[in-house]
Amino acid sequence: MGAPRFKSRKDTRQSIRFTANARWSVTDGGKLALPKVGEVKVRWSRRLPSVPSTVTVVKDAAGRFFCSFVVETGDVQDPPEVTGEVGIDLGLEHFAVTSDGRKITSPRFLRRAAKKLRKAQQALSRKQKGSANRDKARLNLARAHAEVGDARREFHHRLSTELVRENQAVYVEDLCVKGLARTRLAASVHDAGWSAFVGMLEYKAARYGRTFARVGRAFPSSQLLGLRTARRPQTPARPRMDLRAMRSGARPGHQCRTQHLGRRTPHRLRVMLCWSPLDGNPLVSGGGGDLKRLMEGR
């Protein structure tokens, strides 16, 4: 017979599947009885809704074993309908900024565990190849990476479930993760895990009857939804105009657009100007000292 052969020598995730014909079972004591293995203790994450028909035992690179069961379930009850809609802007400093002004700080799991991972990698490199100590060091390194991946996955699940339950429609920008992963920010991009998070949002929205849409990268949202006409209590509306029309002495228009203001201002600075109906002076929204110097022609 010989030793069992793995499906792939390059794949660190190995699995085996037992169907009903294999005569496996779940004992009354909560153990898993497998053929030619015996009874195995299981740390159950939840109760099985019905009698399982198939079990798959998976071993990951960290030496951990997981069991996946195939069971029959009823229809998933949709959460109550809500009227809220949310747009999500993914980033690095803040993992997500929602359209209602909420900012979710990026946990940066990989950055926080960098020292521990570096020590584990150095310990592995010092071990002789083929030795038992090298196998132990490899397992320690794999477990350290597994902790980072599990923490990131838990964060994604909690946040995606919260956003889908609280909003009827979810909109996310379609980012080019592959392109960003080729830059000097590659480690931070992979640490954020945008693709996995967006995938969770998509399948959870479909499961709970929510609307999910990806907004194209070339969509001019800043020109359409960037800023609105400002209103103050007991004052009429102030139509806004752009900077060029303001400096050329033109009358205030009714179009609302955001613009980048040349080389003297920061790259991400966007401002809008509005005309005061009381004294005719321009009112500036945003910009600070750079915008003031620009208006004075410095």
pLDDT of residue 222: 59
CA distance 18 to 3: 19
Partner residues linked to 274 by β-bridges: 240, 283
| pLDDT for residue 246 is more than 50 | no
Instruction: Report the C-alpha gap between 294 and 239 in whole angstroms.
Output: 21
Task: Please tell me the predicted confidence (pLDDT) of residue 77.
Answer: 75
Strand partners, 219: none
Instruction: Tell me the average pLDDT across 113-121.
Output: 95
Q: Is the pLDDT of residue 264 over 50?
A: no
Tell me which DSSP letter residue 32 carries. Answer: E
Q: Which of 42-46, 152-156, 249-253 has the highest mean pLDDT?
A: 152-156
Band of residue 160 on the pLDDT scale cut at 50, 70, 90? very high
Question: Which pLDDT band holds residue 290 (cuts at 50, 70, 90)?
Answer: very low
Q: What is the mean pLDDT of residues 7-14?
A: 75
Least confident piece of the model among 121-125, 194-198, 276-280: 276-280
Q: How far apart are CA 213 and CA 209, in angstroms?
A: 13
Pairing of strands 32-34, 240-241: unpaired
Gyration radius of the chain's alpha carbons: 28
Task: Report whether 175 contacts 90 (CB < 8 A).
Answer: yes
Rounded Cα–Cα distance for residues 181 and 67 (Å): 33
DSSP 126: T
Give the C-alpha separation, 198 to 96, whole Å.
11
- Looking at every residue in the chain, the average pLDDT score rounds to 77
Whether 70 has a pLDDT exceeding 80, the answer reads: yes
Q: So what's the pLDDT on residue 195?
A: 92
Tally Cβ neighbours within 10 Å of residue 64.
12
**What pLDDT shows up at residue 293?**
45
This model's pTM is above 0.85: no
Over the stretch 226-243, which tens digit does the pLDDT of each residue have? 444 444 444 444 444 444
How crowded is residue 58: how many other Cβ atoms within 10 Å of its Cβ? 14
φ/ψ bin of 30: left (φ > 0), alpha (ψ from -120 to 50), beta (otherwise): left
Here the tokens at position 230 are 């400002």
Q: Residue 129: what pLDDT? A: 93
